[in-house]
Structure 1
Amino acid sequence: MKIYKLLFFTFLLTALTSCTFTENIYINDNGTGKFSIDVDGSAFMGMAGDQLGSQMGAGAKNDIDSTFTFKQLFAEKKDSIAKLSTEAQKEIKKLENFVVTTKMNAEKKQFLMTIATDFKNVNELQDILQTAGTLQKLEGGSSINPLGSGLGDNNSKLSYTYDGKKFSRKAVINQQKVTEKVKDSAADMSKMIYSSSNYIMKYHFPKKIKKISNPNALFSDDRKSVTIQYSFTDYIENPDKLNFDVEFEK
């Protein structure tokens, strides 16, 4: 199956129905690690999996297990990328090492997608979700952005910091963009679509957590991992609500 066709249906799924988005970060002792976004659209498959499978072809009706990198995709779209500004091309390049894995099974009512990359320092992840929005600038961009139109489009700048003693996740809201979005009638539609979706953060550290600024955080038994859940509406409308700081034991 062509990558474009798979991504087109992925985009429709994440844009038109409730999903669970899970942001995962694994940090090693030396500060390197792995970042991923898991999208679970199985609820949609339970409602329309047979129809979706049929539209994607006879071979896809039973099972899809696909893995590719954005680097592969960009090689196929090099002509469109060359037409973009130098700044936009630099933004897109940040995504080329991301690996996209999609598993869809209409019979089992399952749709799972993971977008993952390794990093040398969490600072590399600054605005990584917003960068995905740059894909919209490509020809047919909406159909090659597997994150859909909501993830990363919350009018904020997101950054992460980690120095071995503390970790911070911080989103700073762009008030000008918020004002512009209020005037956009599509904003109400997006709010309705995502009202039943969830956004979960699961972070895994090499050290035990001494304290965390978020009172709703759930710890693993060894206190090295934390899970925090919000509605996707919070992620879209109040991205700074998801900010938190972590202090580690010595």
Structure 2
Amino acid sequence: MKLYKLLSFSFLLSTLTSCTFTENITINDNGTGKFSVDMDGSSLMAMAGDQMTQQMGAEAKKEIDSSFTFKQLFEAKKDSIAKLSPEVQKELKKLENFVVNTKMSSEKKEFLMTLSSDFKNVNEMQDILQTLSVLQQLEKGGNASSPFGSNFGNNNSKLSYTYDGKKFSRKAVIDTKKLAEKAKDSAPDMSKMIFASSNYILKYHFPKKIKKVSNPNALFSEDRKTITIQYPFTDYMDNPDKLNFDVEFEK
């Protein structure tokens, strides 16, 4: 299947239905780990049947289990990328090692998409979700360029993670300049309507037992090494700093 056809359909489904987005981080003893964002649109897959057929034709009847890297995507679009500014090209390079995996079955009513990458230090993941919004510059209109749609990641904040073995922090700082620009925009904000019934889940696994978490809604795994926090997707878009929290570990 062509990469852009797959990305185009994933955006279509995410805008037609409610989805669950899960931001996963796994940190190992030596500080390395894995970052991923999962999009699950399975619950309302049946609602997109007609649109799926229109977008994908005979491909809609096939079960899909497909993977590709952004490096492959960028190679196919290298001429377009060469015309972008050095700043945008630098941002895109951050995504090269990310893998996009898609599992889809119209018969099983399943649609799962995962965007993932390994890291040497969680600090490498600064602003990585915001970088996804740069993908739309690869094409005019660009919605199909990003696996989760052009709105995903573009929530007017700068996100950072820190981990030193004693504490972990997730911190989104509101970009007041971007927020002011958004306020001047008279165009309707479709993201609120599109994602009104979607959820955004944080699920982080650490190599040490957790002593305490600043968010009172955090759920612990039995071994107290994993926490899960669920938010409405509108919080992720409109109040990204509400997802901030700190973790302290047992000695």
Range into which the TM-score falls when normalised by the shorter chain:
over 0.9
**Correspondence for 2:40:** 40
Q: Is the 8 A contact 1:198 1:229 kept in 2?
A: yes
Cα 1:157/1:204, change in 2 over 3 Å: same
Q: Is the 8 A contact 2:139 2:145 kept in 1?
A: no
Q: Is the 8 A contact 2:16 2:48 kept in 1?
A: no
Superposition deviation, residue 187 in structure 1: 4.7
Superposition deviation, residue 51 in structure 1: 4.3
| Number of equivalences | 250
Mapped to 1, the partners of 2:175 and 2:121 lie a distance apart of: 25
Q: Deviations over 1:81-119 (max 9, x none)?
A: 000111111110100100000011111111100000000
**Correspondence for 1:181:** 182
Mapped to 2, the partners of 1:154 and 1:211 lie a distance apart of: 28
Q: How does 1:207-246 map to 2 (within 5 A)?
A: 207-246=208-247
Superposition deviation, residue 63 in structure 1: 1.2
Mapped to 1, the partners of 2:55 and 2:174 lie a distance apart of: 40
Cα 1:230/1:186, change in 2 over 3 Å: farther
Mapped to 1, the partners of 2:108 and 2:187 lie a distance apart of: 33
Q: Is the 8 A contact 2:13 2:48 kept in 1?
A: no
Letter in 2 for 1:60: A
Superposition deviation, residue 237 in structure 1: 0.6
**Correspondence for 1:18:** 18
Mapped to 1, the partners of 2:198 and 2:152 lie a distance apart of: 11
Structure 1 runs, 4 residues or longer, greater than 6 Å off: none
Superposition deviation, residue 185 in structure 1: 4.3
Q: Deviations over 1:58-80 (max 9, x none)?
A: 13323111110000000000000
Q: Is the 8 A contact 1:15 1:150 kept in 2?
A: no
**Correspondence for 1:249:** 250
Superposition deviation, residue 121 in structure 1: 0.3
**Correspondence for 1:99:** 99
Q: What's the RMSD between the two structures over aligned residues?
A: 1.4
Mapped to 2, the partners of 1:76 and 1:37 lie a distance apart of: 24
Letter in 2 for 1:32: T
**Correspondence for 2:80:** 80
Mapped to 1, the partners of 2:190 and 2:130 lie a distance apart of: 20
| SS of the residue 2:189 aligns to | helix
**Correspondence for 1:68:** 68
Q: Is the 8 A contact 2:52 2:60 kept in 1?
A: no
**Correspondence for 1:190:** 191
**Correspondence for 2:121:** 121
Superposition deviation, residue 46 in structure 1: 2.2
Letter in 1 for 2:160: S
**Correspondence for 2:164:** 163
Percent identity over the alignment?
Answer: 76
Mapped to 2, the partners of 1:195 and 1:60 lie a distance apart of: 27
